Amino acid sequence: MSEADKDQGVLYMGIDLGTSRTSVSASNGVRETVSSFVGYPKDVVSRKLLKKDVLFGDDAVQHRLSLNFFRPLEHGVLKGSDSGGEEDNLKAAQDLIGEIIRMAQPRSDELIYAVIGAPAQASINNKEAIIKAAKQSVDSVMLCSEPFAVAYGLDMLDDVLVIDIGAGTVDLCRMHGTMPEDTDQITLTTAGDYVDGQLSKLIRESYPEAQFSIQMIKDMKERHASVSEDMGKVKVHLPVKGKPTEFDVTKQMRMACESIVPPIVEGLGQLISTFDPEFQQRLKDRVLLAGGGSQIKDLDTSIEKHMLETLGGGKVVRIEEPIYGGSNGALKIAHDMPGEYWEKLK
């Protein structure tokens, strides 16, 4: 099959399927992202109010009290839900993938070939569930690890360590010029959701009278997340018996954000210490920080500081496009796969 035949009538997509955010980069130049939430009206009243059969992203979050509300990916894989079982979550995941593909504006006559980024150590069952969900909307699909997609997109495939921080997982991947094996990858659950949990706990301990939801905590973190030693004051308004009251949560914010650094550096240490001794220093000096969690202010500096204390040094570089780093790389993989390979996957 020639390259011309390969590309004729095919729209290639790279999809970063995340716990908190799902992004797509498509070969037609479209790039879109949506929060990974799906909701269905609870009853005839909510259906009349919302005038939709399904809501996605921030729209679903805003109206969640009127919805059977799903966050179909926990730790980056399909999960059971409080409001339903596995089949309900599979449907929510199918609808979420269908929505992100619709946002990429495929023509009705185009075949859709998609590469989907999944957590580095997703189990075989989880991978099969993701493929099953995707096959409702695509003609051919393959999975790759999210950190591998990030490195591939930047052409950094040799002697590099990738830290991909999402909401559900932190994926660490050691690249050394070949496809990464299981021993090259570590998945941690001390990620964005973990920071939210720590921040909730710290605020509750300091200000037991304050009222807040986990969504309020997430919004607070997205605005103010920092591990900087000279971060500015973080003052927020939270209700106390219904009255908005100002609280200083600077210390709590920094402590919560810093809580993910030691597990990351410990994971890096595992991947470095089990690598060829001759190339260990090169790995330490080529650490890529990616994913939505990489936007925590001064996180790269904090990881470097901890690497100096425990590993004798290292250099961390934050990628320029944390939201689209995974989907951009997945799209590049899709373009580079031979046409015959896609035919076999159909």
Buried b (16+ CB within 10 A) or exposed e, 332-342: bbbeebeeeeb
pLDDT tens for each residue of 136-154: 899 999 998 888 999 999 9
pTM for the model stands at 0.86
Strand duo 243-248 + 235-240: pairing? antiparallel
> Hey, which residues does 175 pair with through a beta bridge?
160
Q: Which residues contact 312 (CB under 8 A, 6 or more apart)?
A: 284
Strand duo 67-70 + 38-41: pairing? antiparallel
d(CA 17, CA 133): 11
Q: Which residues contact 284 (CB under 8 A, 6 or more apart)?
A: 161, 268, 272, 307, 311, 312, 313, 314, 315
- The single-letter code of the amino acid at 330 is A
> Hey, which residues does 17 pair with through a beta bridge?
22
Q: What is the pLDDT of residue 119?
A: 75
Instruction: Write phi, then psi, for 262 (nearest 5 degrees).
Output: -55, -45
pLDDT tens for each residue of 291-325: 999 999 999 999 999 999 999 999 999 999 999 99
**Helices of type H across 207-316:** 214-224, 250-258, 261-273, 280-284, 299-311
Q: What is the pLDDT of residue 180?
A: 87
- Domains by residue range for the chain, with CATH: 3-151+324-345 (3.30.420.40), 192-258 (3.30.420.40)
Q: How far apart are the first and last CA of the chain?
A: 16
How many other CB atoms are there within 10 angstroms of residue 241's CB atom? 7
Q: What is the pLDDT of residue 127?
A: 81
- 122, two tokens: 């997703």
- 342, two tokens: 């896609």
Q: CA–CA distance from 98 to each of 10, 38, 140 (Å)?
A: 17, 11, 14
| Residue ranges, the chain, pLDDT below 50 | 1-6, 80-84
